[in-house]
Structure 1
């Protein structure tokens, strides 16, 4: 007997839960499972009867990273430790998970003419360390870019195949960074896992994309994919290229890295792998669920009294109400009940308007860095 949970979202997710006895009874409160996930727990009789009721609601879901001021991850927090605000209005958390789940990871790699010398080998060695630290069931896609962006590898768990892609690239041409990030988002939207991330590796700023920064940032805001950027080469963090990569990472809830040497680059890749495994996943049904397409700013706080260390919280900057994409969630039943929709994957198409006015909701760099 199976109870099915389907989640379709982009800022909003359609949460379809097939359970029996909910026709006449209210949903029980949020519960914590032994696996680390907290969900609305079904009664056993609902599963035994196998009659189905489809309940549809809109769920905004997002990954949250909690560290102390030294960058060490803070584990073991309960749902009650978090407070979520949607445009300043406090929301009730209805989904929570802290389990170590696999991720769909896209590698977006610059192979323009400036990536000469040992840059490709350095990146390959650092990525090998990332794979060693990552969840063993992670899946990978590989996108190279110079004048154009190309998908060279799509959804593989074979790490050797992934690393071999570095031997197939030859540095030449310009830097179509924005096109590559856009292709990466489209590719990762087809991933089998709810947890999704892009790692963008480049040594320079965009000079050849068909799309612009405003458009690609809009896609980042809509996708709900965490972006990590690695800037290798002579550019400084405050350069135009460094600033662009930092903004793309920040608005997604990710982080930008500027390694000065090979060892630091390997450490940065290892940190990304650890972060993906130690993130919290939260979700809520908005108190004002109007699908008006407007930008909603997210804010997440952690109760200071519940941790001995001062915490730093990172998550996506917000979402656009009513835009659908192919995000999904995995949920584990609470209180020993059978698994409900664990690792369920629903592919759905992104509804993205390429002609959208991407500048209406742009933030200043100061707002992005708050």
Structure 2
């Protein structure tokens, strides 16, 4: 997981046309023949009057901003952003998963594009800014009562000193249930007010909205998104690549607590019943039995309609395929240094939040000034510790523009 501090240096080329030179000799598309020498004074006077009418008014021409040059209108606007200090949150655990405390900066080796860096400090404290984004469409209606109860956990486990939480829910729309606050009652009420909406799940759009909210927070805050949703998007207008780039550029980590799609398929609120494709008179019934909705239900699995297990089988096939193809949640967590959790029961959900809280508190925040700024593009980060047998996790990298020497 990676956080870096930006100190942007921007240069913007302003566009403007060069001022008109009033001393330049006007051009006229009139040729005066020698045979018309007698009429030359009259024609010249008429041309001068016509040209004078086309000259700009006598109001002063606005001055171009400092640094503007003739022809700037033909140039592209250039914005250069450099990174002076990089902050890398690092999680160190034993193989059994227990967090390791008490390490010092000299216990780490940090490489930026395989170049060893000088670690400045382990930042002791950064207040947390957290956005919780909850899927709230009709597919997860049966799971929402569990989520509505978790509001108090954030003030108890995650916020700490000077922390703040915002709550967002999404179906086809993104709704800010509560803007950033440290008030435990407001946080709890925001979760309690989450209700199921349409059948769409614009997860990528919700992550982008949460990212924009966090970008407006001060630079000295720890910025995290907690996504509680299924693992696949269903109807976003934004692109996954753009969303993940925004997260990386804004130093945002994303953690997820996944709703199991098998559970949501079996517990989702039913829609309009689909008529059976088999006429009720063609179904086998016991001798002498009347054709009624009850007898049809005993054969087909639902009153007056056929039992439809196709969606569940489809989820099984897509679930197998997802092993080989990255889903959006996996991409978000992998490339921001976060982690995926899942839940079936209330205890699973609460434990996942507690584990995320423990990890955020146990992380080491290592800072350094890159000594290879001339290398533009994506910079990979690799961290080692001097103690053997430990597992290290951090954000895989960050983007930086090349800085000329």
Q: Cα distance 1:129–1:152, how it changes in 2: closer, same or farther (>3 A)?
A: closer
Aligned to 1:297: 380
Please list every run of at least 4 consecutive aligned residues from structure 1 whose deviation after the TM superposition is greater than 6 angstroms. 236-239
Is the counterpart of residue 188 in structure 1 residue 214 in structure 2? yes
Distance 1:61 1:282 in 2: 5
Aligned to 2:364: 280
| Shift in Å, 1:204 | 4.7
Is the counterpart of residue 81 in structure 1 residue 165 in structure 2? no
Is the counterpart of residue 125 in structure 1 residue 118 in structure 2? no
Is the counterpart of residue 321 in structure 1 residue 392 in structure 2? no
Q: Deviations along 1:305-332, whole A, 9 cap, x unmatched? A: 5xxxx32111111000049xxxxxxxxx
Aligned to 1:111: 136
SS at match of 1:137: coil
| Shift in Å, 1:127 | 4.6
Distance 2:320 2:116 in 1: 35
| Shift in Å, 1:220 | 2.1
**Aligned residues, how many?**
269
| Shift in Å, 1:197 | 0.8
* Bigger shift: residues 149-158 or 85-94: 149-158
Is the counterpart of residue 229 in structure 1 residue 229 in structure 2? no
Higher radius of gyration, 1 or 2 = 2
Q: Cα distance 1:260–1:302, how it changes in 2: closer, same or farther (>3 A)?
A: farther
Distance 1:297 1:211 in 2: 26
Aligned to 1:365: none
Q: Is the 8 A contact 1:109 1:200 kept in 2?
A: yes
Q: Cα distance 1:280–1:87, how it changes in 2: closer, same or farther (>3 A)?
A: same
Aligned to 2:86: 60
Q: Cα distance 1:284–1:68, how it changes in 2: closer, same or farther (>3 A)?
A: same
RMSD of aligned residue pairs (Cα, Å): 2.7
Higher strand content, 1 or 2: 1
Is the counterpart of residue 13 in structure 1 residue 13 in structure 2? no
Among candidates 226, 229, 241, match of residue 202 of structure 1: 229
Higher helix content, 1 or 2: 2
* Bigger shift: residues 268-277 or 99-108: 99-108
Q: Deviations along 1:83-107, whole A, 9 cap, x unmatched? A: 111111111112322x354311111
Q: Cα distance 1:273–1:11, how it changes in 2: closer, same or farther (>3 A)?
A: closer
Q: Is the 8 A contact 2:167 2:191 kept in 1?
A: no
Distance 2:116 2:356 in 1: 30
Q: Is the 8 A contact 2:111 2:381 kept in 1?
A: yes
Is the counterpart of residue 311 in structure 1 residue 390 in structure 2? yes
Q: Cα distance 1:231–1:182, how it changes in 2: closer, same or farther (>3 A)?
A: same
Distance 1:276 1:106 in 2: 14
Structure 1: stretches of 5+ with no match in the other structure: 1-8, 16-55, 324-370
SS at match of 2:7: strand
> What is the TM-score when the length of structure 1 is the normalising length?
0.67
Distance 2:135 2:370 in 1: 39
| Shift in Å, 1:150 | 2.4
Mapping 1:117-196, distance limit 5 Å = 117=142, 119-134=143-158, 135-173=160-198, 174-192=200-218, 193-196=220-223
Q: Cα distance 1:239–1:200, how it changes in 2: closer, same or farther (>3 A)?
A: farther
Q: Is the 8 A contact 2:138 2:196 kept in 1?
A: yes
Aligned to 1:245: 329
Among candidates 117, 121, 125, match of residue 91 of structure 1: 117
| Shift in Å, 1:261 | 2.4
| Shift in Å, 1:200 | 0.4
Distance 1:88 1:68 in 2: 25
